[in-house]
Amino acid sequence: MPLNRDVLWYKDAIIYQVHVRTFRDSNGDGIGDFPGLSEKLDYLQELGVSAIWLMPFFPSPLRDDGYDISDYNAVHSSYGTLEDFRRLLGSAHDRGIRIVIELVANHTSDQHPWFQESRSSQANPRRDWYVWSDTDIRYKGARIIFLDTEKSNWAWDPISKSFYWHRFFSHQPDLNYDNPAVREQMWKVMQFWLEMGVDGFRLDAVPYLVEREDTNCENLPETHDVLKELRRKLEENYPGRMLLAEANQWPADLRPYFGEGDEFHMAFHFPLMPRMFMGLKLEDRKPITEILQQTPEIPSSCQWSLFLRNHDELTLEMVTDIERDYMYDSYAVSKMMRLNLGIRRRLAPLLDNDRRRIELMNGMLMSLPGTPIIYYGDEIGMGDNINLGDRNGVRTPMQWNGETNGGFSTAPADHLYAPLIQDPVYGYQAVNVLRQKASEHSLFNWMQRIIAVRRSTGAFGRGSIEFLYPANHRILAYVRRLANETILVVNNLSSTAQAVELDLSRYKATIPIEMFGRNMFPRVGDLPYLLTLGPYQFYWFRLRRI
């Protein structure tokens, strides 16, 4: 299946997020690798994904799961070789699957040769590649992001006897984007991978590229200038490739990252995600509709990127204090489940392994405006291990079958990069791909179906949205429209059966056709359209004028 040549491909995509280390170990060393991932491309194709987002696979001391890069133009030896990566890229493209990789542009590892040179002496030509200071009192307006581990955004370097700036861990010094040489170098990094054929970059931590005094050092105009410059070069030289912004910000602050369609193609909608969980727990659509009401229009070529869970904690930075407390009490009763300002748990455990809620959340993920991203393992309802430190509890090996090491690796169990989930509910013997593929009603097969239905129309990826606001606040209902296609989505956020009357007067005389079973429902007439929904049930209807 060749790649679709549409330059807006990302608007219709189903993206699968995976770390190569976690997916499949082909050489028995206990660590997933590119050949292993290539082996499993058929699985991903079968699931229906159209793009893979690969987390950092570059050489790294791995003190932050690869987000501490020590060489941008190579592959970490544990994961294979550049040639292995090239093969993966080709195989994926052959299956119509695109590859999006990480560009951790804000910072490097302190082991990166650039930083080693920079710290070596104040006269070194690369001294200005990082942000140095004689004091640790500059940029006081910048918040500390990793509150649990860092006390300051400045770290003392005993070698050059000065402070260096870091927004994340102290072993991740920030690059100095005021330096044109840094900007040029980062473009060269991008070119390296683009020439190889990668289809896009997920740019990590973009709000923090530039620092200015008397600001919070986030979302600065100078940062946008840097990003626009990269986008311009990308557009001129590699049209059809995509930039995805990781900027954990409020919608209004996110909007500038799209520019006038000349900055990012996509950006994660961070504030929506916790509010989906909140709406589900509250059994009230208000948090979801409110954040979407606050979400500004974006240029037509741009797209929101939606997700339920990812490799990080369920971030609660973009919620109020009341909402955060509620989320903690609802989803992270044990303090061990909390990290920084978030909750380090996977989707299934967050939802008490309740199949109805898992389906409803995925239903919303697939039908709200944006491109859905599925975190590896969530398609089979994998669990987490909160006994592992940091965010490693949600980064355990993929569970392929019930055999040794869950089919992930042939290495001895104590050689695996991380232990498999072994508990009775989520352990690999109970939750694995092989078992689920064999069961018609498994979560995997259900995910496969919903992805297929989602891909059967462009309305979900590109259509407009109109909320219906029925008087029953437990019902989240909206209409997605694209050209002549109209889709009605009705979600019951409640744990109990609900009746709802929908004002479908604009769609009078249409026949609702349920998209999964393709059954007709009564024609829309003059009266409010009455629907009853079971607990956590949702409907997708095509409204057909026949």
Q: Scan residues 78-97 and list those touching other proteins (CB under 8 A).
A: none
Beta bridge partners of 495: none
Helix intervals (H) in 337-482: 347-350, 355-367, 433-438, 443-455, 459-462
Q: How far is the CB of 271 from other proteins (least distance, A)?
A: 15
Smaller CB separation from other proteins, 187 or 469? 469
Spatial neighbors of 379 by CB under 8 A, at least 6 apart, are 47, 443, 444, 447
Q: How many residues touch other proteins (CB under 8 A)?
A: 26
| Set 12, 204, 218, 359: catalytic member | 204
Q: Which stretch binds other proteins (CB under 8 A): 156-164, 287-295, 392-400, 504-512?
A: 287-295
Q: Does 324 bind other proteins (CB under 8 A)?
A: no
Three-state DSSP class for residue 530? strand
Cβ–Cβ contacts within 10 Å for residue 294, how many? 12
Task: For tokens 């030896």, name the residue.
Answer: 77
Q: Scan residues 476-535 and list those touching other proteins (CB under 8 A).
A: 494, 496, 498-499, 501
Q: How far is the CB of 283 from other proteins (least distance, A)?
A: 8
DSSP state of 414: G
Smaller CB separation from other proteins, 226 or 282? 282
Q: Does 466 bind other proteins (CB under 8 A)?
A: no
Q: Scan residues 5-64 and list those touching other proteins (CB under 8 A).
A: none
Q: Which stretch binds other proteins (CB under 8 A): 18-26, 201-209, 420-428, 472-480?
A: 472-480
Q: Does 323 bind other proteins (CB under 8 A)?
A: yes
Q: In this structure, what token pair is assigned to residue 287?
A: 């948090």
Q: Is 71 a catalytic residue?
A: no
* C-alpha–C-alpha distance, residues 328 and 272, integer Å: 17
Judged by CB under 8 A, which of 117, 283, 317, 466 binds other proteins?
A: 283
Question: In what helix (H) or strand (E) does residue 467 lie, and over which residues does it extend?
Answer: strand 464-467
Q: Does 360 bind other proteins (CB under 8 A)?
A: no
Q: Does 474 bind other proteins (CB under 8 A)?
A: yes
* C-alpha–C-alpha distance, residues 99 and 201, integer Å: 9
* C-alpha–C-alpha distance, residues 107 and 85, integer Å: 23
Question: In what helix (H) or strand (E) does residue 82 lie, and over which residues does it extend?
Answer: helix 82-94
Q: Is 352 a catalytic residue?
A: no
* C-alpha–C-alpha distance, residues 109 and 90, integer Å: 29
Using alpha carbons, list the distances in angstroms from residue 389 to 100, 338, 418, 421, 526: 27, 11, 11, 14, 58
Q: How far is the CB of 503 from other proteins (least distance, A)?
A: 12
Q: How far is the CB of 500 from other proteins (least distance, A)?
A: 8
Q: How far is the CB of 531 from other proteins (least distance, A)?
A: 12
Spatial neighbors of 112 by CB under 8 A, at least 6 apart, are 69, 70, 71
Smaller CB separation from other proteins, 83 or 290? 290
Q: Which stretch binds other proteins (CB under 8 A): 100-108, 282-290, 310-318, 421-429?
A: 282-290
* Residue 381 falls in which region: left (phi positive, over 0), alpha (psi -120 to 50) or beta: left
Q: Does 286 bind other proteins (CB under 8 A)?
A: yes
Q: Does 357 bind other proteins (CB under 8 A)?
A: no
Smaller CB separation from other proteins, 292 or 515? 292
Residue 204: phi, psi to the nearest 5? -80, 140
Binding region for other proteins (CB under 8 A): 278, 282-287, 289-290, 293, 320, 322-323, 326, 467, 469-474, 494, 496, 498-499, 501
Catalogue the active-site residues: 204, 246
